[in-house]
Structure 1
Amino acid sequence: MNTPTGALPERLRATLRADIQGMHAYAVQPSAGLIKLDAMENPFALPSELQAELGQRLGAVAIHRYPGARIDDLKAALAQHIHLPAGCALMLGNGSDELISLLAMACDLPGAKILAPLPGFVMYEMSAKLQGLGFVGVPLTADFELDGAAMLAAIRMHRPALTYLAYPNNPTANLFDDAVIDQLVDAVGEQGGLVVFDEAYQPFASRSRLAQAGQAGQRDHVLVMRTLSKFGLAGIRLGYLVGPAALIAELDKVRPPYNVSVLNAEAALFALEHADEYARQAALLRAERERLLVTLAALPGVQRAWRSEANMILIRVADAASTFAGMKQRGVLIKNVSALHPLLANCLRLTVGTPEENACMIEALAAAAA
């Protein structure tokens, strides 16, 4: 939570970049005492026996030492878990947020730009601004599909160093059309830029672009970024970037040493050893998502609920601000995304929770949107 600290003393203003002083920090909503369905977290804790086993593992970690070979063990386990394509390598980040920042740093040449569809994940634009790069946002269509013609025109005009394609997208939760994506990937390649597929919600999606990261030749500019946050480990902050080994080797040079802690690495290794439990949880959430979509389609006050390939559902109501406030008053915290982009007017983003949480959410929504 951001804590007010008063105005910055005038004598210090000249020391800090003016553009940063004019920016807003990433906001995290206070959630104490509320059913927390605003951040696409996995709502399931580990079974008690696995919690005890994890506690023993973490207690034995050498926290008096810097991270060492155990990080390599984690990279090897991740490579096996995702069936790393031949010729590819992995780079680890302190969450995918750090990877997004490092990509901007690595591509920070004079005049370089980052391009992404809008609405999309806010960190793409924020990373560009923090690094002093230009950002080009290309609006999606009214149905949140890629505007292929507009994207191609923007790629040819701006020649972006980085083009982000979230797959599925946040906050719209949809997978973009693969035929359009292929055109964009080729267009970016012709301009000498990189394409980053952000697959943060991969455990809930029906398709992936991971195999494309391993294609040689014309597609050797494609990267795939994932996180263990939606896998069920949001608290440990671990992301990873997959791409051609030669490209990853260059990008890895901007990564801070020891950016992943030994505790995070050990927790991630433990989770991968018990991937079947997390797969079971993901299956439950996918089933709950489908049940919610049916319920939302028949709920008075919900004008539209978009199909989802993630663990969130985007809906439109008559008055997003009033509905959000009414649900919060009834103990349920969701995300009001209506101010993020004109296409999201009166839209709310609902995280898929446990069956009990979802029942409370629907009850609160029905009362608040009536």
Structure 2
Amino acid sequence: MNAPLPQRLARLIRQDVQGMHAYAVQPSIGLVKLDAMENPHRLSPQLQRELGERLGAVALNRYPGERIDTLKQALARHAGMPEGFSLMLGNGSDEIISLIAMACDVPGASILAPMPGFVMYAMSAQLQGLKFIPVDLTPDFELDERAMLSAIEQHQPSIVYLAYPNNPTANLWDDAVVEKIVQAAPGLVVIDEAYQPFASRTYADRITRHDHVLLMRTMSKFGLAGVRIGYMIGRSALVAQIDKVRPPYNVSVLNCEAALFALEHAKVFEDQAAELRRQRGLLLERLSKLPGVKAWRSDANMILVRVPDATQAFEGMKGRGVLVKNVSRMHPLLAQCLRLTVGTAEENAQQLKALQESL
């Protein structure tokens, strides 16, 4: 536990920051790590050697330069970016979320998002001094159309976040409801497609209909969580304004080269995603047979489950060497819920056994 801050220093730090909790990362040494929706597959030894040689040749003595533009072009091709649109890079999606809030920080600005959802939407609002407006999902974790449209009309938010699919509920929402929200939004709408490699649908083919929609993706779920590359696509004029608040050289030369290497071997990662989708189906099928467990349909590489006692199940699984995420205290709708990451066949077998024994 951290010691109290001396008063002469405490007066320099914002009171709301002092009252916050830092983003928590669970210790995972010695455990099967299934708490953070990471791709469990590593590169083959041959690709490891090739990447190592390539990274070893990078000019670490120079600031990132034109190679960053090469990565942007490669990502634009990978995502099928339309004409008239531009792409901005971030040090993970988290940085992009912060930059959007910074760019939109005008008097009276606010951010609206369905809850439960990704914690960084609310955190970015608080840190930038914007009002955050949470709108509860339905008990089945669907968008509450009436509540969302009412909140938009009442608060006129500057930014609306729609995770597609959502974290931690892992579901894709009704497209007709999504479109109504997009059309009703007076400001920006950010479609967060962090889990797109595992989803059955994408909003990418609809962004050309609107000038206020931004599409946000990450290479973390592609298989590069450790590389920290996020990107955002939108109308060029809009992206150019947000790009002005981006720190210079926010993506390192090593991260850039690793991302380019991965895109050149995209088939390897696409095959991994296909295997994880297959494992997700098997895991859902087996979870449905566990008494007392309710699992929701997933379009991501995670599955939300409700158990009789989330704390008991979480601690029991951890004691059996499997680390998952206890989300039961994140929001009242998540009462007694755990979030399970889809792993390899062996990891999923260990996860199921640990869960069953811990119920």
Query: Fold conserved (TM > 0.5)?
Result: yes
- Corresponding residue for 1:101? 98
Matching of residue 317 in structure 1 with residue 307 in structure 2: yes
Deviation of 1:85 (Å): 1.4
Instruction: Identify the residue that residue 56 of structure 1 maps to in structure 2.
Output: 53
Indicate which of 314, 323, 336 corresponds to 2:326: 336
Structure 2 runs not aligned, ≥5 long: none
Counterpart CA distance in 1 for 2:208 and 2:221 is 23
Task: Please say if 1:212 is aligned against 2:206.
Answer: yes
CA apart distance, 1:213:
2.2
Paired with 1:316 and 1:108, the residues of 2 have a C-alpha distance of: 38
The one-letter code matched in structure 2 to 1:152 is L
Q: Structure 2 residue aligned with 1:17, among 11, 14, 17? A: 14
Give 1:246's aligned residue.
237
Corresponding residue for 1:258? 249
Local SS of the residue matching 2:355: helix
**Which residue of the other structure, out of 153, 160, 166, is the alignment partner of 1:163?**
160
* Identical columns (%): 67
Divergent runs of 4+, >6 A = none
Distance 1:199 1:51 in 2: 28
Tell me if 1:92 matches 2:82: no
Please state whether the residue corresponding to 1:138 is helix, strand or coil. Answer: strand
Alpha-carbon separation, structure 2, partners of 1:53 and 1:341: 45
Question: Which residue is equivalent to 1:306?
Answer: 296
* Counterpart position of 1:280: 271
What letter is aligned with 1:359? Answer: A
Distance 1:328 1:301 in 2: 19
**Aligned residue identity for 1:201:** Y
Structure 1, unaligned runs of 5 or more: none
Q: Which amino acid aligns with 2:102?
A: M
Tell me, yes or no, if structure 1 residue 366 matches structure 2 residue 352.
no
In the alignment, does 2:108 pair up with 1:111?
Answer: yes
- Contact residue 225 and residue 241 of structure 1 kept, 8 A: yes
How far did residue 13 of structure 1 move? 1.4
Q: Could you report, residue by residue, the CA deviation over 1:103-154 in whole angstroms, capped at 9, with x for unpaired residues?
A: 0000001111000000000000000000011000000000000000000010
The alignment partner of 1:27 has SS state of coil
Q: Matches of residues 4-153 of structure 1 in structure 2 within 5 Å?
A: 4-153=1-150
Q: How far apart, CA to CA, are the structure 1 residues paired with 2:246 and 2:292? A: 48
Distance 2:334 2:261 in 1: 39
Q: Separation in 2 of the partners of 1:136 and 1:50?
A: 45
Pick which of 8-17 and 324-333 moved more.
8-17
Aligned residues: 359
TM-score of the superposed pair, with normalisation by structure 1: 0.96
User: Following the alignment from structure 1 to structure 2, what is the Cα–Cα distance between the partners of residues 82 and 111?
Assistant: 34
State the Cα deviation string for residues 76-99 of structure 1 (Å, max 9, x = none).
111111111121110000000000
SS at match of 1:235: coil
Report the CA distance between 1:162 and its aligned residue.
Answer: 0.5
CA distance in 2, matches of 1:210, 1:106: 23
Asked if structure 2 preserves the Cα contact closer than 8 Å seen for 1:142 and 1:343, the reply is yes
Q: CA–CA distance in 1 between the matches of 2:356 and 2:291?
A: 7
Q: TM-score, normalising length from structure 2?
A: 0.99
Q: In structure 2, what is the equivalent of residue 269 of structure 1?
A: 260
Letter of the aligned partner of 2:31 in structure 1? L
